[in-house]
Amino acid sequence: MKGTYLVVMTLPKDTSVMVGKHGILHFKKGCYAYVGSALNGLEQRIQRHLRTDKKTHWHIDYLLPFTEIVEIFYKENNRREECRIAQDLERNFTGIPGFGCSDCSCKSHLFFGSLNVFRQTATSLHMDLYPLNDCSP
């Protein structure tokens, strides 16, 4: 399966995190959503984000250990849509500058905002809820 995903997570307290070449980034307590794509194995990419034992490769890998994933939304497609979705999110949420977008011209792929509004946005983008309990769509 190929497609785009949105990982929605909560950060329980203000936290400073060393994020690769970005150095130390400061995150305030609250809800975040990270948009990504996987054109060679969407399910495997989502499963990787859910694992705790992994090497840090992407920016999100540095932040995830400090958060709790509350929902993951996904959309099957054969083309990369993460930048279009990131641009949609940018209109309604505060982006974390440079996070998750080192391979594109987006301002951010990580956004801070309200859980309910993230849910509404994912629904409006025709994204499905990934079942976290059995970890298969």
Mean pLDDT of the chain: 93
| Mean pLDDT value across residues 23-38 | 96
pLDDT at res. 137: 47
Domain segments of the chain as ranges: 3-130
| Mean pLDDT value across residues 27-45 | 95
User: pLDDT tens-digit profile of 77-120?
Assistant: 988 899 999 999 999 999 999 999 988 999 999 999 999 999 99
Contacts 24+ apart (CB under 8 A), 51-59: 56/20, 58/100, 59/19, 59/20, 59/22, 59/99, 59/100, 59/102, 59/109, 59/110
pLDDT at res. 136: 46
Question: How does residue 134 score in pLDDT terms, banded at 50, 70 and 90?
Answer: low
Closest Cα partner for 104 from 82, 134, 88? Answer: 82
